Structure 1
Amino acid sequence: MALSLYVNTERWRAHQRAMCANFPDLVPVCKGNGYGYGHERLAEEVSLLGCDLLAVGTTYEAMRMKDMFSGDLLVLTPYRRDEEPVPLPSRVVRSASTVDGVYGLPGSRVVVEVMSTMKRHGVRPGELGKLRAALEDVRLEGFAIHLPLDRTDGTDSVEEVIGWMDRLRAARLPLDTMFVSHLTANELARLRQQFPQTRFRARIGTRLWLGDHEAMEYRGSVLDVNEVVKGERFGYRQTKAPGDGWLAVVSGGTSHGVGLEAPKALHGLTPRAKGVARAGLATVNRNLSPFVWDGKQRWFAEPPHMQVSIVFVPADARAPEPGDEMKAILRHTTTQFDRLVDR
């Protein structure tokens, strides 16, 4: 009895192949929890796709992934001189986002990140002169730019990349390869047309592994079902049942990521109103669970436990039974499943 991730394998792989066709020279990204699939499984999928380079988040992920993937590995987190040294093979490419970082990697294969409007990591325009001297001691694999997902000011992602291409060219820096993130296939085609001598490589994670939502589904096994009447007390805190119905004990708790939610950027009145409503319900211990039963998303009966959740199913719904499975609407990047089932 488990929290299971069911995958329509052929459909999932068909989406991967379509992405590779739309983004030639694609660099798959596998970081964090492996987008819900795990590092080992994604390493297998990247090998099946025939990709020569796989991007990971940290040096620690590269250390684990080197035994799962035989191609080159690109570490996305920029190098810092005071970081803990991690033994890595020469096929690992490091990112650098400062001139000092480049100087700290003599003899290494390096991708230099430039500062985008994300304002996260990157070499700034005024540092390009100093950068040219620093690059003499490394094996430059290219430059990279990490772009914003949304552009509420109406600016153009392609124009931002072109601006950097012009700056790099003016600084007499090589434009052989540019790694980009968060561009559409059409935007990438525009860049290739304007800079035919540059190899543009899109680093893609979420759209590659999670782009076809219908290809995957979480389900939690129903372990036990206990009937309750309105006002009856239950659980760790002896909460009162909100009505007649059933308490379904379902696989999937905090250790799986159930009940965890990343902060959201809310735009517009309707999303903000919904956010206020959810916060108001939470103050009276009304929290919607990710579990769906009889066509509706059901409420937590109490906060999720470490490995299970208790879900309240009202009497007007179909009674769950041990052995049933409840669909779970979970965020892949924060979920740890017990088992993965290929279908």
Structure 2
Amino acid sequence: MALTLYVDTARWRAHQQSVAEQFPGLVPVCKGNGYGFGHERLAEEAIRLGSDILAVGTTYEAARIKDWFGGDLLVLTPYRLGEEPVPLPDRAIRSVSSVEGVRGLVGARVVIEVMSSMKRHGVGEDDLVKLHSAIDDVRLEGFAIHLPLDRTDGSDAVEEVHRWMERLRAARLPLHTMFVSHLKAGELTQLRNQFPQTRFRARIGTRLWLGDHEATEYRGAVLDVTRIAKGERFGYRQNKASEDGHLVVVAGGTSHGVGLEAPKAMHGVMPRAKGVARAGLATINRNLSPFVWAGKQRWFAEPPHMQVSILFLPGDVAPPAVGDELVAHLRHTTTQYDRVVDR
């Protein structure tokens, strides 16, 4: 019995197609764990979409995926002088975020990232003049800008890209292609109208693969159900049951990513209050699991084990049977399933 990822394949692919239609020339992104689907699966889906290029996170990912995808491979992590060399085919394109990086890639195909309001990495405005001589020794595929997801200051994404386009134009740098991230379809249309000589290509990962939440579902199989009385000890730590109920052993533990949670940015009073409440409950070993039974997420009886989790169900809730499956609310980017089932 397993932790299973169920995929409504027709619905999932219909969503992909709708995104591709909204963003002509999009660059599918396949990085990390392949957004929960794996690199090989997403390479196949990119081919199905007719993509001529696939973006990956690192050179190591590019080396693994090159045998599954025959088009260009855009490495998103910027090149750094002195990095470990990884053999890649000529169809690999390196991202670069510094003038020194450009000069270190003589003869290579490169995309130059500019510094956005993300402040993560990128060439600054003051360095644009230095790029003239540097780009003569590389095969420039275009420029790129990675924009923030949220704009709490009310700033405008189109305006930010527009300013960079004007800077590049003023520096007399080629503007044939601009790769962008985190723009809406309407915003991309605005930019195409403003700069008709430039080909804008949207790099899209999450929205493409995970944009339709109803197309996928994780479920963990129930392995055992044990009745327990108030005061009885159980588990690795031999804690006492606080009331009568059942212990439910379900497939899915730390090796699957169960119990992992990325830090969240919280805005507003209510989300912060809920965060404080969860933290307070955790101090008394009350942690909510991702598994759902009888319409509610259920509490861990104790921290998840390597391959299974033990849940506590109070006595007034009818327990599942061995072999039933519990829906699990898990992050695709941190989950490793046992099997995938296409439906």
CA distance in 1, matches of 2:154, 2:48: 38
Secondary structure in 1 matching 2:100: helix
Secondary structure in 2 matching 1:208: helix
CA distance in 2, matches of 1:243, 1:92: 60
Q: Does 1:161 align with 2:161?
A: yes
More displaced stretch, 199-208 vs 317-326: 317-326
CA distance in 2, matches of 1:329, 1:66: 32
Secondary structure in 2 matching 1:10: helix
- Percent identity, aligned pairs only? 76
Secondary structure in 1 matching 2:74: strand
Q: CA deviation at 1:240?
A: 1.0
What residue in structure 2 maps to residue 5 of structure 1? 5
Q: CA deviation at 1:271?
A: 0.8
What residue in structure 1 maps to residue 329 of structure 2? 329
What residue in structure 2 maps to residue 259 of structure 1? 259
Write the deviation string for residues 37-78 of structure 1: whole angstroms up to 9, x where unpaired.
111111111111110000000000000000111111000000
Equivalence map 1:161-240=2 (5 Å): 161-240=161-240
Q: CA deviation at 1:320?
A: 1.2
Secondary structure in 2 matching 1:110: strand
Q: Does 1:25 align with 2:17?
A: no
Write the deviation string for residues 221-257 of structure 1: whole angstroms up to 9, x where unpaired.
1011111011110000001112211111111000110
Question: What amino acid is the match of 1:105?
Answer: L
Write the deviation string for residues 266-302 of structure 1: whole angstroms up to 9, x where unpaired.
1111111011000000000000000000111000000
Q: Does 1:112 align with 2:142?
A: no
Which residues of structure 2 form unaligned runs of 5+? none
CA distance in 1, matches of 2:2, 2:225: 16
Equivalence map 1:1-343=2 (5 Å): 1-343=1-343
CA distance in 1, matches of 2:242, 2:190: 58
Secondary structure in 1 matching 2:200: strand
Secondary structure in 2 matching 1:321: coil
Q: CA deviation at 1:316?
A: 1.4
Write the deviation string for residues 301-338 of structure 1: whole angstroms up to 9, x where unpaired.
00000110001111211221110100000011100111
CA distance in 2, matches of 1:46, 1:236: 45
CA distance in 2, matches of 1:251, 1:192: 49
CA distance in 2, matches of 1:298, 1:253: 15
CA distance in 2, matches of 1:119, 1:25: 26
Secondary structure in 2 matching 1:78: coil
CA distance in 1, matches of 2:291, 2:324: 12
Write the deviation string for residues 143-198 of structure 1: whole angstroms up to 9, x where unpaired.
00000000000000000000000000000000000000000000000000000110
CA distance in 2, matches of 1:231, 1:38: 44
Coordinate RMSD, CA, aligned: 0.6
CA distance in 1, matches of 2:239, 2:280: 19
Write the deviation string for residues 201-221 of structure 1: whole angstroms up to 9, x where unpaired.
000000000000000000001
TM-score if structure 2 supplies the norm length?
0.99
Write the deviation string for residues 127-149 of structure 1: whole angstroms up to 9, x where unpaired.
00111110000000000000000
Question: What amino acid is the match of 2:134?
Answer: A
More displaced stretch, 111-120 vs 64-73: 64-73
TM-score if structure 1 supplies the norm length?
0.99
CA distance in 2, matches of 1:251, 1:169: 56
CA distance in 1, matches of 2:55, 2:295: 39
> When the two structures are aligned, how many residues end up with a matched partner?
343
Question: What amino acid is the match of 2:54?
Answer: L
Moved over 4 A (4+): none
Question: What amino acid is the match of 1:327?
Answer: V
Q: CA deviation at 1:20?
A: 0.2
CA distance in 2, matches of 1:57, 1:261: 21
CA distance in 1, matches of 2:37, 2:235: 32
CA distance in 2, matches of 1:243, 1:83: 57
